[in-house]
Structure 1
Amino acid sequence: MVDDTISLNVGGKRYTVRRSTLTADPDSDLAEMFKVGVKSGPMTPATDKLGNCYLDYDGKTFRYILQYLRHKKDKMDVISALPLSPCELTKLIAVSTLLNLDELRDISLEMLLKYNSDERSHATGFPLLANLPATVYAGFDPTAESLHLGHLVVICAMLHLRAAGFDVIFVVGGGTAKLGDPTGRNEDRLILSDDQLLYNSRSITNQLTAICGHFDSEVELEVAADGEPRKRPLNPVIIENNESWFQRINVLEYFDCVGRAFRLRHMMSKQCVSNRMAHAGMSYGEFSYQVLQAYDWLHLYRTRSCLLQLGGNDQLGNIHSGRDLIRHACGRQAYGLLVPLLVSDSGHKMGKSSGEVSIWLDRKLCTPYAFFQHFLRMPDAEVRRSLELLSFFSQPEVENIVKEHSRYPERRLAQLKLARQLTVLVHGASGLQKALRTTEVLFEKPHDHLFEMDDLERQTVIDQLPHADLTPKPHMTVEELALSAGCFDTVEEAEAVIRSGGFSVNNFRLKDPMAKLSPEVINVGRKFSLLRVGKRSHYIVLWK
């Protein structure tokens, strides 16, 4: 077995470490970076000018990572080696989360929770926050017209802090979106027009306003922080667009104030930058993104005394930049609070960059029914983590829900609780009612119930489903209808599913892709047909 030593530069602090130590947790990012035989790849660390492997993390915090890796077989040895300071534990939780060291994160969080003292620290679970101004911000760039499920973890965490008494600021990045965050990307972002950015910014602002309104009137009243009745009115949510302050800034003053705070070597060493520079390169605009986002935080500190930023754990580098700028310009210590990323079934981050996102928060892109069904169909293995990340149930309530679910898993109690609460949060009580009604009609009522409903009620259900306007053609085949209605992406997929008996029209199961559709099957006189793929996917064809 190869067990050579590796020289590390971790945030300016030098370590010499055995490879076997760095790879002791096989599921961690460190193991992926330093496993034997890996010469280059997306996880390969950058090197400094002396040839040391450079890792962009806090150097002092990293020593606890190494102590954990050396003693991970004995939990008591690990605990005795960890810091007792809440500040250091908070940093350790952030870094261990980023490196996918799940056991270390859980041990550190367990230790941190023992320090809970005053009301605010008890409500948030982070004692360090009790010593900061009660203001927190999170930012979203309007590079699409809607936020998506991946953003919801950040939004829910912000609402938890709001219930604990924090002033909450959402920043819509109308200015920074013109450059684009390079984190997690392999190529430059597409440039959006000013009109498109303005439309996206307004759309996201409206979404955030609606979600916070639903939280106040329908979610937070039902389940308040710690399961206790709410003791005070919640402070109004603040939503700002960073284009408003970037339009006013003088470029020379900007470089004098901000430019002097950043060193090129440190900026170039960031993982997202070094990965891009090693391949296709990157524009100066994207390279400067971290500096502009840092200025957002400086502006919010100067105008609203904000020393806490919340973001996904892929934003650690950008949060570091903002923290460093505030310390350089104002001499104050700022803090970041990181939340885990939601990942898809393939293990990729759920986001616009991955190309895998389909659960948007805009009802025009993802109906309340589709949103509700996403959580109702969630695998049992994922539901506990989703309850902890996304719901507003207290920890004892989560434990009870999971316990009850394990007794009768076929009832999908945990999924139903999560689906109902999040659908109300995003789409309001009316959206939940539409989702429940559509679910009832499609899965609980007799097959012909949809055809017996009155026009107004039926339209409510149809609006929740994918639908296509088609003109009936003589001799239309089963395959032609399925493809025209958008049920399948390819001919091969359509033929395979149809031949296996997984496709039906108006409850007639059709197994021959080339068969001609008879009038009694499609029933054009009813003006619509219900198509089903498998057991759960439904489509509507509206006949012209």
Structure 2
Amino acid sequence: MSKLLHDLQFRGLINQVTDEEGLSKALEEHAMKLYSGFDPTADSLHIGHLLPVLTLKRFQDNGHYPIALVGGGTGLIGDPSGKKAERTLNTSDIVQEWSDRIKGQLSRFLDFEAEKNPAMIVNNYDWIGSLDVISFLRDVGKNFGVNYMLAKDSVQSRIESGISFTEFSYMILQSYDFLKLYQNNDCKLQIGGSDQWGNITAGLELIRKSEENSKAFGLTIPLVTKADGTKFGKTEGGAIWLDADKTSPYEFYQFWINTDDRDVVKYLKFFTFLSQEQINELEKEVETAPEKRSAQKTLAEEVTKLVHGEDSLQQAIKISEALFSGDIKQLTGNEILEGFKDVPTTEIDESEIGLIDLLIQAKISPSKRQAREDISNGAIYINGERHQDLNMVISEEEKIDGKFTVIRRGKKKYFLIRYK
């Protein structure tokens, strides 16, 4: 087995592969071009896309040529794989805008300027957009038997609930992508999530029928799961996006640091470029000293740095440490906004306000009597410091960057005060 496939196997990144022996030999003999597709179904990729992106990067790091296909064409159709219902169709201008944004995100991970083996981005709208219906049906569609398509899991799972001809034809279009890249770019390998197996093997069949003496391969990586049964990449606030404006680096860092002990070693293998020795060492720590959470900290640091860069990682760590220690005053206004994005927030007009009145206005305490009791009992913290003066007035000194005051009631209940 080739060194690269051996590493992918150690990491649990090979779910299914066609002709493993042939692929291993081909990877050893010469640099190979491979691709994975990313349909623009939103204005950002999310962490569900991270595994195929990083797998492309692993191939590039081993001397191969990754091609990131942005589905400007297939994104107008909708992939039924893994979906229980028909997708909402987006307009072509929205799909084009999302395609451009995804191109920018992919460039964080793949090196398009590399001297020896630069990555490449293609958009399948370039060949699907100009394909007329007669050519599509005669030259492409004739190669697909309906029984063959019905047998695929992505279609089977939707037969009862219903599938339109539009989504039914998605498999043919993705197969056509593989054929075009094989013909135009000498691309011999397609990778994707395990839900793409049917589409990938259909592409291989189309290449076999269209090209004499063809040799191409397919490889799927497992869908990421969580030990507790909940869906990976989802939180109460929604999806974890790669766009910092949609999911802040601090939220991103927190997502990874809260990984379950049962999942953390698997995620280290999937999402980091640590060596086998480093991962094995962290695995021992999970078993012998789980309370240190060394594996989770390493995972959070590695993935946050990879996606958002060193500066954003350091800011996320700074916010995390400030919240843990209660030393809120060391944070800037922007860091306050990032760290307290989801806590109850109240806007205040007054430049100065008594603490008791503030607790009532911000609904931190339900009554003046309770507010006095909370203050007297030492349950109220302002920017991390306990205050027990019933006559205290919030002044400029308690405003971080002149804009925010963070109030904590008890051990965990945080409230954010914003000044107009």
- TM > 0.5 between the two? yes
Cα offset for 1:378? 1.2
> Given the superposition, is the C-alpha separation of residues 472 and 479 from structure 1 closer, same or farther in structure 2, using an over 3 Å criterion?
closer
Is the contact made by 2:346 and 2:362 (CA closer than 8 Å) also made in structure 1? no
Is the contact made by 2:108 and 2:307 (CA closer than 8 Å) also made in structure 1? yes
For 1:434 and 1:419, how far apart are their aligned partners in 2?
13
The aligned residue for residue 465 of structure 1 is 339
For 1:127 and 1:520, how far apart are their aligned partners in 2?
75
Cα offset for 1:418? 1.7
For 2:42 and 2:82, how far apart are their aligned partners in 1?
16
Deviations 1:298-321 (A, max 9, x none): 111111111101111111111111
For 1:311 and 1:161, how far apart are their aligned partners in 2?
13
Q: Secondary structure at the match of 2:305?
A: helix
Matched, 1:198 2:80: no
For 1:481 and 1:194, how far apart are their aligned partners in 2?
46
The aligned residue for residue 108 of structure 1 is none
The aligned residue for residue 178 of structure 2 is 297
Q: Secondary structure at the match of 2:36?
A: strand
Deviations 1:316-342 (A, max 9, x none): 111111111111111313211111111
Matched, 1:341 2:217: no
Cα offset for 1:464? 2.5
For 1:140, which of 20, 38, 42 is the aligned residue? 38
Matched, 1:529 2:397: no
Cα offset for 1:472? 2.9
The aligned residue for residue 168 of structure 1 is 66
For 1:207, which of 100, 105, 124 is the aligned residue? 105
The aligned residue for residue 75 of structure 2 is 177
For 1:436, which of 313, 317, 327 is the aligned residue? 317
Deviations 1:477-516 (A, max 9, x none): 779757xxxxxxxxxxxxxxxxxxx99875599xxxxxxx
Matched, 1:398 2:279: yes
Q: Secondary structure at the match of 1:276?
A: coil
Is the contact made by 1:391 and 1:422 (CA closer than 8 Å) also made in structure 2? yes
Is the contact made by 1:133 and 1:306 (CA closer than 8 Å) also made in structure 2? no
The aligned residue for residue 224 of structure 1 is none
Matched, 1:155 2:155: no
Matched, 1:244 2:142: no
Percent of aligned positions that are identical: 34
> Given the superposition, is the C-alpha separation of residues 348 and 470 from structure 1 closer, same or farther in structure 2, using an over 3 Å criterion?
closer
The aligned residue for residue 257 of structure 1 is 139
For 1:156 and 1:283, how far apart are their aligned partners in 2?
33
For 1:275 and 1:383, how far apart are their aligned partners in 2?
31
The aligned residue for residue 372 of structure 2 is none
Cα offset for 1:233? 5.6
Q: What are the residue-to-residue correspondences of 1:268-287 with 2, within 5 Å?
A: 268-279=150-161, 281-287=162-168
Is the contact made by 1:146 and 1:204 (CA closer than 8 Å) also made in structure 2? yes
Cα offset for 1:356? 8.6
Deviations 1:164-223 (A, max 9, x none): 11101001111101111111212111121223212211111111112335x99xxxxxxx
> Given the superposition, is the C-alpha separation of residues 408 and 348 from structure 1 closer, same or farther in structure 2, using an over 3 Å criterion?
closer
For structure 1, list consecutive stretches of 5 or more residues without a partner in the other structure. Answer: 1-86, 99-104, 106-111, 217-231, 483-501, 510-517
> Given the superposition, is the C-alpha separation of residues 345 and 508 from structure 1 closer, same or farther in structure 2, using an over 3 Å criterion?
farther
TM-score (norm: length of structure 1): 0.62
Paired amino acid for 1:472: I
For 1:195 and 1:307, how far apart are their aligned partners in 2?
31
Is the contact made by 1:163 and 1:234 (CA closer than 8 Å) also made in structure 2? no
Paired amino acid for 2:297: L
> Given the superposition, is the C-alpha separation of residues 369 and 262 from structure 1 closer, same or farther in structure 2, using an over 3 Å criterion?
same
CA root-mean-square deviation: 3.9
Is the contact made by 2:227 and 2:262 (CA closer than 8 Å) also made in structure 1? no
TM-score (norm: length of structure 2): 0.78
Matched, 1:543 2:419: yes
Which one is further off, 171-180 or 529-538? 529-538
For 2:413 and 2:198, how far apart are their aligned partners in 1?
41
Cα offset for 1:260? 1.2
The aligned residue for residue 422 of structure 1 is 303
Is the contact made by 2:272 and 2:303 (CA closer than 8 Å) also made in structure 1? yes
> Given the superposition, is the C-alpha separation of residues 348 and 378 from structure 1 closer, same or farther in structure 2, using an over 3 Å criterion?
closer
Matched, 1:130 2:28: yes
Deviations 1:241-292 (A, max 9, x none): 111221233332222221111001111222232332212x121111111111
Q: Secondary structure at the match of 2:37?
A: strand
Paired amino acid for 2:338: Q
> Given the superposition, is the C-alpha separation of residues 185 and 506 from structure 1 closer, same or farther in structure 2, using an over 3 Å criterion?
same
Cα offset for 1:403? 2.4
Deviations 1:131-160 (A, max 9, x none): 576111001111011111111111111111
> Given the superposition, is the C-alpha separation of residues 342 and 355 from structure 1 closer, same or farther in structure 2, using an over 3 Å criterion?
farther
Query: When the two structures are aligned, how many residues end up with a matched partner?
Result: 383
The aligned residue for residue 289 of structure 2 is 408
Is the contact made by 1:350 and 1:357 (CA closer than 8 Å) also made in structure 2? no
Paired amino acid for 1:542: R
The aligned residue for residue 328 of structure 2 is 450
Is the contact made by 2:33 and 2:188 (CA closer than 8 Å) also made in structure 1? yes
Q: Secondary structure at the match of 1:471?
A: strand
Deviations 1:31-69 (A, max 9, x none): xxxxxxxxxxxxxxxxxxxxxxxxxxxxxxxxxxxxxxx
Matched, 1:361 2:263: no
For 1:431 and 1:410, how far apart are their aligned partners in 2?
26
For 1:533 and 1:207, how far apart are their aligned partners in 2?
40
Is the contact made by 1:257 and 1:329 (CA closer than 8 Å) also made in structure 2? no
For 2:391 and 2:126, how far apart are their aligned partners in 1?
60
Is the contact made by 1:505 and 1:530 (CA closer than 8 Å) also made in structure 2? yes
For 1:461 and 1:329, how far apart are their aligned partners in 2?
56
Cα offset for 1:528? 1.6
Paired amino acid for 2:80: P
The aligned residue for residue 319 of structure 1 is 200
The aligned residue for residue 268 of structure 2 is 387
Cα offset for 1:534? 9.6
